[in-house]
Amino acid sequence: MKSSAKQQSTREAILDATDRLLARSGYKKMTIDDLAKEVGIGKGSVYLHFSSKEELVLSHIDRIIDRLQIKLSAIAEESAKPSARLRKMLEMRVLHRFDGVQHYTQSLNDLLSAIRPNFLARRESHFENEAQIFVAVIEEGQQNGDFAEGDARKIAESLVLATNSLLPFSLTTQELGERRDIEEKTRQIANLLLQGLIKRE
């Protein structure tokens, strides 16, 4: 039996190569043969880790989101004020997503059109998971009196949703604009939202 650590590292190597090839050629032109060659394994071995090309790319996206969630959770557990943590989480979330696909110059549409239904479903669940991380911080702020009362889950969903139009999705990072502008716009929205959360004297 192969060590699961080794299995895991092969899996990671495949996903790393997927990222490179996706950036280089887009979804349709990226072939499993090329991918295997890039990783230095046999083609069949790719299918030991992923059941299909679509599943492979979806997993690659999942990995970006997993990493995001780890970073979000880390901030959520810091010791700063809840409002400061939320602000930081909102900004980091947008920039992480921006950076995660910055090198895909034109290929986002290609990818989206190829795997649309499953991708949209996952995207929805990613948002839900991300919102859940915000919930804990919001509840903390409510309990310590910083924030006004309210359904923490709904508030979390609103925070996420309100910054979603800044995420690369149908628009590539180029079409979205300069990274610094995205950052500034996110900060503006986050400020307004958080002012709204903070309890009035």
Binding site residues, DNA, CB under 7 A: 1-2, 6-7, 10, 28-33, 41-45, 47-48, 51-54
Of these, 113, 129, 140, 168, which contacts a copy of itself (CB under 8 A)? 113
Closest listed residue to residue 67, CA positions, set 37, 97, 38, 107? 97
Extract the tokens encoding 161. 């949703």
166 near a copy of itself, rule: CB under 8 A: yes
Nearer to DNA, 107 or 163 (CB): 107
Which of these ranges, 24-32, 47-55, 64-72, 170-178, lies near a copy of itself under the rule CB under 8 A? 170-178
Report, in Å, the least distance between residue 121 CB and DNA. Answer: 17
Residue 59 neighbours by CB distance under 10 Å: 18
**198, 147 Cβ separation under 8 angstroms:** yes
Residues in CB range of 142: below 8 A, 6 or more apart: 148, 149, 150, 152
Give the count of residues interacting with a copy of itself (CB under 8 A): 32
Residue in 163, 155, 150, 118 with CA at minimum distance from that of residue 133: 155
Residue 78 CB partners (closer than 8 Å, separation 6+) = 85, 88
- Minimum CB separation from DNA for residue 28, in Å? 6
Residue closer to a copy of itself (CB basis): 47 or 169:
169
30 binds, among a copy of itself, DNA, none (CB under 5 to 8 A by kind): DNA
Q: Pick from 102, 71, 101: which is nearest to 89 by CA?
A: 71
Residue of 167, 178, 17, 171 lying closest to 107 (CA atoms): 171
Q: Which is nearer to a copy of itself, 41 or 164 (CB)?
A: 164
> Site residues for a copy of itself, window 175-194 (CB under 8 A)?
175, 185, 188-189, 191-194
Nearest to 199 by CA among 109, 100, 82, 48: 82
- 120 touches a copy of itself (CB under 8 A): yes
Task: Answer yes or no whether residue 163 interacts with a copy of itself by CB under 8 A.
Answer: yes
Q: Which residues bind a copy of itself (CB under 8 A)?
A: 109, 112-113, 120, 148, 154-155, 157-159, 161-166, 169-171, 175, 185, 188-189, 191-197, 200-201
